[in-house]
Structure 1
Amino acid sequence: MPSQPPRSLEVYQTHRQALIDYACGIVGDHAHAEDLVQDAWLRVEAVERRRLIAEPVGYLYRTVRNLALDVYRARKRSGRRSVEGLVEDGNQPTDDSPSPEAVVVARSDLQRLLESLNELPERTRRAVILYKVEGLKLREVAARLNVSVALAQALVVDGVEHCAQRLSRDV
């Protein structure tokens, strides 16, 4: 039986420009948005190889959003300010401190994320933390865990997918 191309490929091809525009609205850089959309599709396609995705359009948009928000947050943490963050009269950064409501939501999200990480098997949890939190490359994660790069990738994908499903279920 010939293998069918993944449904996510058709979704990606159909919605690619809209996804790029969506990501660009978050990261503010068209080239980076294109990279994010490509990365998102690769991740969705990897998940789809293991199981059927009920809503591939929504799943792809959510993946793009999560990746774009990761980039946006990383930029904020590194202290780089966007042009919108400057005041014209003195080029002083505006106060972009989160509102009290945003702090409460973020703490709640963090608590749910920690709970979902604790539900993972130890090796999967370590792989996710090494890759997502410590920023190690997959080959470095594999070396730390003494597993193949393919297994390290599978552990990270499984762990991230579990956390994403848990967080979306808890909303």
Structure 2
Amino acid sequence: MIDYACGIVGDRSSAEDIVQEAWIRVEAVERLRPPTEPLGYLYRTVRNLALDVYRARRRTGRRSAEELIDQGLQPADDAPSPEAAALARSDLARLLESLDELPDRTRQAVILYKVEGLKLREVAARLKVSVALAQTLVVDGVEHCALRLSREGRT
């Protein structure tokens, strides 16, 4: 089954993921309504998932690591350059400094909303304030940080 998917997508790692996903989907369907041809249904599911991955790669122009190695190329390194890493550390330091300049409740609201990903009503509940006030705190805090970073040449 993995070889079948690999023939479509071109790399074994993706093929293994596809077969696992197909197995999960077929199992879920079998619990509700067993297919008349379970093996055929599994193959069709693997084929459809593999074709989805193949088409997505073609749209984005992305090639698998195995395809690149087969062609004598090396996959791109996702690690940032030393300059980019240094710039990111500098930006983070300035952002943390600007957060420290905020009043405590505003800082907490920004962190809960932007870092922890809470919804405004959840931020409001945590801080024991209205949703409108939570929104104002977040907006004020984000504006302060953005203004501070833009004054120093980065947004």
After TM superposition, the score normalised by the length of structure 1 is: 0.49
Measured on the aligned residues, the alpha-carbon RMSD in Å equals 2.4
Unaligned runs of 5+ in 2: 1-56, 70-74
1:13-52 alignment runs, 5 A limit: none
Q: Does 1:102 align with 2:94?
A: no
In 2, Cα distance between equivalents of 1:165 and 1:118: 14
Q: Does 1:169 align with 2:151?
A: yes
The alignment of Structure 1 onto Structure 2 pairs a total of residues equal to 91
1:8-157 alignment runs, 5 A limit: 83-87=60-64, 90=67, 94-157=76-139
After the TM superposition, list the runs of 4 or more consecutive aligned residues in structure 1 that deviate by more than 3 angstroms. 81-89
Unaligned runs of 5+ in 1: 1-80
Change (3 A) 1:84 1:107: farther
Q: Secondary structure at the match of 1:141?
A: helix
Q: Secondary structure at the match of 1:96?
A: coil
AA partner of residue 132 (structure 1): K
AA partner of residue 138 (structure 1): L
Change (3 A) 1:107 1:88: closer
In 2, Cα distance between equivalents of 1:85 and 1:135: 30
AA partner of residue 90 (structure 1): E
Change (3 A) 1:96 1:118: same
Q: Secondary structure at the match of 1:140?
A: helix
After TM superposition, the score normalised by the length of structure 2 is: 0.53
CA contact under 8 A between 1:86 and 1:94: conserved in structure 2? no
AA partner of residue 124 (structure 2): A
